[in-house]
């Protein structure tokens, strides 16, 4: 089908509805199910990853808060219905059903910031088939993106130990993905972001001082430094690698004095240059002036600088591209559905039998098993009710109940939860080398659920 091709379209403002951020086949299935009488069958869909990206030790749940906002905005207003009907994507009965659509079911999920492992049921969506299938694309888009970024970010945070990391990858990813990336990185422990919209929308602390272009704009590096210091004060960060680093550091301290906040190095062998700059700063009396390094850093680059006199890192490309794993490979699968349309119809576990992509039927719960030292040792996934021991954590929390969003929390809560969730993992979780997931996923067949 060829739609009309508009010459000019709004870039960012997709309207108030998120409903068309959806694969067409969700609507085709809806229409066919409405017609066949199966649309109202109670259904359970689950989001999980069959595996972590190669060699990764854990994944990080992120995007939950964004997903809840997106579900609230998932409705078919006149503009959406006009597009769908004018282009023959749905018939009139389906359009009328969509006009009344609000998700009225229940959603549980791993709390944002928690860790996950292969087959962890990080989201469970329960409702009629019709209302739940429609959320598939949007839920996966948000979770696949945000989990991928947060999972990479967490490794970088732990590679940096207590040194702060600035997220500065906006320019290397889609302009809206940039905002979500800054949010995900903050959950995982990044200190700040360069992205102003992430500051406005989510309250992520922002940071940023100057680029090489600012130095090149001025008649000399000295003029550029003077201009920046006059504008934002001696506590700022001066970029010292536009021409000659040693000369720039000398000029910087001469102009700002020993109270200069920081210098930034963006090129060269960062460890070697940082050592030289540290010695020079100390010799000039600027012992408290910090050194920030940037430039194609990832978790391995950060770890390699562990012994260098570096006070902070800026990370861009590798953060927003998930450091080699730009999507979390999460899937959204029907795992159980009623045998008939009535609320009381018995639920039946379902799973496809295709080669290579097996799924386990039945709605799952999950428990993180914690030993007497407070260290996690297994992820138990069960088709029955969770049976936690005294120290164990039941991992799914209510997010939506009867269509009402009940799982909202602040970003700071998610950030704090992530810190605790990683602290609880065995030490192997923090190894950057390729290996097995830090926890084994154990399956338990439960009895019938109530």
Nearer to a second copy, 268 or 309 (CB): 268
Whole-angstrom Cα distance, residue 169 to residue 179? Answer: 10
For tokens 């959320």, what's the residue?
135
Binding to a second copy, residues 36-65 (CB under 8 A): 36, 38, 41, 43, 45
- Segment lying near a second copy (by CB under 8 A), choices 34-42, 116-124, 298-306, 381-389: 34-42
Nearer to a second copy, 265 or 370 (CB): 265
Q: Is residue 102 a contact point for a second copy (CB under 8 A)?
A: no
Binding to a second copy, residues 235-254 (CB under 8 A): 241-244
Q: Is residue 210 a contact point for a second copy (CB under 8 A)?
A: yes
Nearer to a second copy, 147 or 438 (CB): 147
279: part of which helix (H) or strand (E)? helix 270-283
Q: Is residue 114 a contact point for a second copy (CB under 8 A)?
A: no
Least Å distance, CB 364 to a second copy, is 16
Taking a C-beta distance cutoff of 8 angstroms, is the pair 142, 67 a contact?
yes
Which of 410, 436, 413, 434 lies closest to 425 in space, CA to CA? 436
Whole-angstrom Cα distance, residue 84 to residue 134? Answer: 14
- Residue span 285-324 as binding mask against a second copy, x where in contact by CB under 8 A, dash where not: --------------------------------x--xx---
Binding to a second copy, residues 169-198 (CB under 8 A): 170-180, 192, 194-197
Least Å distance, CB 254 to a second copy, is 18
What are φ and ψ of residue 367, in 5° steps?
Answer: -135, 135
The separation between the first and the last C-alpha atoms of the chain, rounded to the nearest angstrom, is 46
# residues contacting a second copy (CB under 8 A): 132
Nearer to a second copy, 27 or 376 (CB): 27
- Residue span 367-406 as binding mask against a second copy, x where in contact by CB under 8 A, dash where not: ----------------------------------------
Rounded alpha-carbon distances, angstroms, from residue 89 to 15, 28, 132, 435: 20, 7, 19, 46
For residue 269 the two structure tokens come to 């062998």
For 143, residues 6+ apart whose C-beta sits below 8 A from its C-beta are 47, 61, 62, 63, 64, 67, 122, 123, 328, 330
Least Å distance, CB 329 to a second copy, is 8
- Segment lying near a second copy (by CB under 8 A), choices 77-85, 118-126, 285-293, 425-433: 77-85
> Following CA atoms 249, 254, 258, 260 in sequence, which dihedral angle do they give, to the nearest 10 degrees?
-60
Least Å distance, CB 87 to a second copy, is 7
Whole-angstrom Cα distance, residue 328 to residue 47? Answer: 11
- Residue span 261-290 as binding mask against a second copy, x where in contact by CB under 8 A, dash where not: -----xxx----------------------
Q: Is residue 208 a contact point for a second copy (CB under 8 A)?
A: yes
DSSP 206: B
Whole-angstrom Cα distance, residue 67 to residue 188? Answer: 17
Q: Is residue 18 a contact point for a second copy (CB under 8 A)?
A: yes
Binding to a second copy, residues 133-162 (CB under 8 A): 133, 136-138, 140-142, 144-145
Pairing mode, strands 441-444 and 376-382: parallel
Binding to a second copy, residues 399-438 (CB under 8 A): 408-412
What are φ and ψ of residue 58, in 5° steps?
Answer: -160, 160
The β-bridge partners of 394 are 367
């Amino acid at each position: 089908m060829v739609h009309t091709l508009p010459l000019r379209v709004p870039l960012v403002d997709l309207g108030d509805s998120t409903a068309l951020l959806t694969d067409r086949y969700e609507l085709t299935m809806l229409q066919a199910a409405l017609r066949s009488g199966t649309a109202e069958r109670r259904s359970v869909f689950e989001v999980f990853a069959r595996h972590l990206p190669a060699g990764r030790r854990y994944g990080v749940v992120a995007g939950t808060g964004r997903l809840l906002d997106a579900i609230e905005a998932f409705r078919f207003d006149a503009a959406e219905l006009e597009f769908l009907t004018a282009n023959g994507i749905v018939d009139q009965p389906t359009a009328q059903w969509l006009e009344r659509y609000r998700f009225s079911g229940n959603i549980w999920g791993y709390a944002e910031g928690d860790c996950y492992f292969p087959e962890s049921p990080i989201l469970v969506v329960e409702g009629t088939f019709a209302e739940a299938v429609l959320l598939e694309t949007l839920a996966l888009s948000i979770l696949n993106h945000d989990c991928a970024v947060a999972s990479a970010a967490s490794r970088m945070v732990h590679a940096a130990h207590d040194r702060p990391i600035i997220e500065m990858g906006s320019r290397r990813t889609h302009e809206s993905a940039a905002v979500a990336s800054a949010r995900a990185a903050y959950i995982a422990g990044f200190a700040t972001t360069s992205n102003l919209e992430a500051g406005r929308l989510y309250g992520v602390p922002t940071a940023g001082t100057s680029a090489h272009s600012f130095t090149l704009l001025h008649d000399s590096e000295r003029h550029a430094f003077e201009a920046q210091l006059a504008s934002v004060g001696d506590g700022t960060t001066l970029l010292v690698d536009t021409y000659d680093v040693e000369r720039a550091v000398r000029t910087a301290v001469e102009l700002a004095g020993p109270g200069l906040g920081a210098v930034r190095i963006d090129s060269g062998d960062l460890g070697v240059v940082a050592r030289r700059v540290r010695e020079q700063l100390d010799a000039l009396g600027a012992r408290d002036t910090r050194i920030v390094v940037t430039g194609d850093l990832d978790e391995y680059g950060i770890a390699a600088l562990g012994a260098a006199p570096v006070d902070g890192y800026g990370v861009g490309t590798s953060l927003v591209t998930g450091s080699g794993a730009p999507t979390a490979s999460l899937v959204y699968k029907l795992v159980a559905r009623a045998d008939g349309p009535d609320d009381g119809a018995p639920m039946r576990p379902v799973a496809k039998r295709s080669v290579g992509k097996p799924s386990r039927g039945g709605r799952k719960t999950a428990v993180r098993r914690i030993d007497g030292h407070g260290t996690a040792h297994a992820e138990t996934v069960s088709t029955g009710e969770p049976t936690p021991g005294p120290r164990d954590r039941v991992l799914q929390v209510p997010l939506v109940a009867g269509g009402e969003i009940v799982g909202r929390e602040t970003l700071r809560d998610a950030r704090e939860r992530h810190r605790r969730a990683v602290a609880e993992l065995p030490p192997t979780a923090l190894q950057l080398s390729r290996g097995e997931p830090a926890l084994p996923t154990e399956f338990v067949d439960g009895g019938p659920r109530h």
